[in-house]
Amino acid sequence: MSPILAGVLQLIALVAALALAYRPLGDYMAATYSSRKHLRVEKIIYRCIGAHPDTEMRWPAYLRGVLAFSLAGVLFLYLLQRLQGSLPLSYGFASISPDQAFNTAASFVANTNWQSYSGEQAMGHVVQTAGLAVQNFVSAATGMAVAIALVRGFSRTRTGDLGNFWADLVRGTVRVLIPIAVIGALVLVACGAIQNFSGIHEVGQFMGGTQQTNGGAVASQEVIKELGTNGGGYFNANSAHPFENPNGFTNLFEVFLILVIPFSLTRTFGKLVGNVRQGYAVLATMGVIWLGFTALMMWTEFAHGGPALQAAGGALEGKETRFGIGGSSIFSVSTTLTSTGAVDSFHDSFTAFGGGIQLLGMMLGEIAPGGVGSGLYGMLVMAVIAVFIAGLMVGRTPEYLGKKIGTREIKLAACYILITPTLVLGFTAASMVLPDALGSILNTKALGAGPHGFSEVLYAFTSGANNNGSAFGGLNANTPWYNTTIGLAMLLGRFLPMVFVLALAGSLAGQKPVPETAGTLRTEKPLFAGLLVGTILIITGLTYFPALALGPIAEGLS
| Per-residue pLDDT reduced to its tens digit, 1-45 | 788 899 999 999 999 999 999 999 999 999 999 999 999 999 999
Q: Are 535 and 382 in contact (CB under 8 A)?
A: yes
From the list 5, 9, 2, the residue with the least C-alpha distance to 313 is 2
In this prediction the pTM is: 0.94
Residues 514, 402 contacting (CB under 8 angstroms): yes
Angle in degrees, CA 521, 528, 412, rounded to 5: 80
For residue 523, the 8-state DSSP code is T
Average pLDDT over residues 511-530: 88
**Over 80: is that where the pLDDT of 310 sits?**
no
Q: What's the burial of 206, exposed, middle or buried (CB within 10 Å: 0-12/13-18/19+)?
A: exposed
State yes or no: pLDDT of 446 exceeds 60.
no
Tens-digit pLDDT profile for residues 229-277: 999 888 888 999 999 999 999 999 999 999 999 999 999 999 999 999 9
Contact between 317 and 328 (Cβ < 8 Å): no
Q: At what angle do helices 526-548 and 276-302 cross, to 10 degrees?
A: 40
Give the pLDDT mean for 138-167: 95
Element (H, E) at 212: strand 210-213
102/112 Cα distance (integer angstroms):
13
My answer on whether omega of the bond before 369 falls inside 30° of 0, hence cis, is yes
Which pLDDT tens digit goes with each residue over 38-83? 999 999 999 999 999 999 999 999 999 999 999 999 999 999 999 9
| pLDDT at residue 447, as a whole number | 42
Query: Is residue 205's pLDDT more than 50?
Result: yes
More confident residue, 313 or 518: 518
